[in-house]
């Protein structure tokens, strides 16, 4: 699947990154090879990545007990991100 310029700009926008052409052109990527995956040539997924484990986490009741405005199973917090 080819990643388009629009895809990159959309992800940058979601991550609140300013990826202007001027900023992108500041980086010297002459000797940087394109990547198709995150593992280096000498790594294998079996040796590098750990197994995913489901671990129960029963702290919801304790957290809600100390929340200022609980409404199980959630609690409200003040808005901190504005766009």
Q: What is the pLDDT of residues 37-66, one digit of tens each?
A: 777 777 776 666 778 899 888 888 888 888
pTM for the structure as a whole: 0.38
Torsion, Cα of 10, 12, 83, 76 (10° steps):
100
Report the distance separating Cα 43 and Cα 36, nearest Å.
14
Helix, strand, coil distribution of the chain in percent, nearest 5: 30, 5, 65
Q: Give the pLDDT score at 77.
A: 79
Residue 68 CB contacts under 8 Å (≥ 6 apart), including other chains: 75, 76
* Cβ count within 10 A of residue 27: 8
């Amino acid at each position: 699947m080819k990643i388009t310029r629009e895809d990159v700009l959309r992800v940058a926008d979601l991550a609140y990154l300013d990826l202007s052409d001027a900023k992108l052109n500041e980086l010297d990527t002459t000797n940087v090879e394109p990547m198709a995956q995150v593992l280096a040539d000498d790594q294998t997924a079996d040796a590098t990545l750990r197994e995913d484990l489901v671990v129960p986490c029963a702290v919801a009741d304790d957290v809600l007990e100390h929340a200022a405005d609980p409404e199980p199973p959630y609690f409200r917090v003040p808005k901190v991100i504005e766009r």
